[in-house]
Amino acid sequence: MARRDNNRKVFEVDFDSDFDDYRGGYVRMDDVNSDTNEPPASLEVAEHERDDGQDSRLRCDFKGLLSGLRRRPGLFWIAVTIVTQAGQLILFAKTSSVLTLPQATFVRGLSLIPMVFFISWEKSKGYGWAEMAIFISAGFCDNLTYVCGGAAAMYVWTGDVAVIQFNTPLPGVLLAWLLFKEKLRPIDLVLILVNACGLVIVSQPSFLFPVDKPVVTSDSHHALGILLAFGGMTFSLTATLCARALPYRSAEDPYLFLTCTGIFGLFLSCAISFISEPWTLPATLNQWLMVLALIFFVIVGLFSYIKSLETESVMTVTVLVTLSMLLTTIFDFIFEGRHADFLSLCGVAVILGSTFSLFLKDLVFNDSEEEAED
């Protein structure tokens, strides 16, 4: 059937049966047989070729995946956050004998103060009191997360602290669904619960798994450690929700968040130092290098975390970031001589499987929704 379009006669062709990748198109009437009014025997579509076979479909799927990743820069920042948070966990453990908790908090806060030079204060006048309250609350809660976690590790095993503080995806997703109307599907809850089980298996908390080491704290101190760990989880969740609620009016917003975090870190460390032991400086070059590396990971880690929450949902960020704990476990297996028992390997597999499934599911649903909108 022929029709006119913009004074040019074209032949309408249904590609649905002949071409897998096209659903409609037009051919110039010059190429149509004028006697039979039929399209040519061989249709050539500009800039498109028909590829048959599974290899072509795989290439299309891979290109679609790359296209989805390019449309979501937040995934890159999540990957940076995973690596830098793992580096922080490793270096915090390495420098625990060199830096006390108030010292580490002070170093962490001091390293973030230079971010103030990246802020244009004229633009900041556009923020209202409510928005500035979000920045201040996020910085304050971020510091309290670290302090509570470090204090809890003094009374309970590190695995206990980790399994409590890292299990923020489930409450975070529920609160994001209530506060920000983020989408929540039943499969999301299932994958989050599976991920939480993997964290428990890898961390092997003492209240679920027997430990070989004797308990060095009393029951009251152990309860205090658990309470501090839950406090750290609460502050971490609050900081994440505040970061998600930031206005993100310009590229300077992450720097303002880091500045607020640094200022409160200095105040908090100074307050704790009044009731703690005297400070001591690192004694060797190796210790200084580890402290400098820790400063680098703190700056990059917090910046990338804020950038990831700028475009990605709380569910995607909190679940994928749990891979940082997995990286620290692998580091212990390779460099620290930790025994790779079967139970730990099962936990690693569960975390990887649930996280990878959530990642693919998130990409598929986002792509299908974008296609539906188009």
Query: Which residues have C-beta within 8 Å of that of residue 173, sequence separation ≥ 6?
Result: 182, 184, 188, 189, 192, 314, 315, 318
Helices assigned H by DSSP within 34-154: 54-71, 74-94, 101-112, 121-124, 129-152
Q: How confident is the model at residue 303 (pLDDT cuts 50, 70, 90)?
A: very high
Give the mean model confidence (pLDDT) for residues 44-73: 53
Backbone angles phi, psi at 38, to 5 degrees: -115, 155
Query: Which of 69, 120, 114 shows the shortest CA–CA distance to 251?
Result: 120
Residue-level pLDDT at 79: 92
Rounded to an integer, what distance in angstroms lies between the CA atom of residue 150 and that of residue 102?
10
- Residue range 264-280, pLDDT digits in tens: 999 988 888 777 767 77
Residue-level pLDDT at 144: 92
pLDDT above 80 for 48: no
Burial string for 184-211 (b: 16+ CB within 10 Å, else e) reads: beeebeebbebbbbbbbbbbbbeeeeee
DSSP H or E stretch at residue 25: strand 25-28
- Residue range 308-356, pLDDT digits in tens: 988 888 888 888 888 887 888 788 778 777 676 777 778 878 888 888 7
The conformational region for residue 46 under phi > 0 = left, psi -120 to 50 = alpha, else beta, is beta
Residue-level pLDDT at 301: 92
Give the mean model confidence (pLDDT) for residues 124-151: 84
Residue-level pLDDT at 346: 84
Residue-level pLDDT at 305: 92
Give the mean model confidence (pLDDT) for residues 298-304: 92
pLDDT above 60 for 65: no
pLDDT above 50 for 16: no
Backbone angles phi, psi at 7, to 5 degrees: 60, 20
Rounded to an integer, what distance in angstroms lies between the CA atom of residue 350 and that of residue 86?
18
Question: Is the pLDDT higher at 252 or at 299?
Answer: 299
Q: How confident is the model at residue 61 (pLDDT cuts 50, 70, 90)?
A: low
- Residue range 213-222, pLDDT digits in tens: 444 455 567 7
Rounded to an integer, what distance in angstroms lies between the CA atom of residue 240 and that of residue 137?
10
In three-state form (DSSP H/G/I as H, E/B as E, the rest C), the secondary structure along 207-226 is: CCCCCCCCCCCCHHHHHHHH
**To 10 degrees, what angle do helices 74-94 and 285-311 make?**
150
Q: How confident is the model at residue 167 (pLDDT cuts 50, 70, 90)?
A: confident
- Residue range 180-200, pLDDT digits in tens: 888 888 888 888 888 888 878
pLDDT above 70 for 95: yes
Q: What is the mean pLDDT of the chain?
A: 75
- Residue range 169-185, pLDDT digits in tens: 888 888 888 888 888 88
Q: What distance, in Å, lies between the first and last C-alpha atoms of the chain? A: 27
Sequence length of the chain is 374
Question: Is the pLDDT higher at 87 or at 363?
Answer: 87
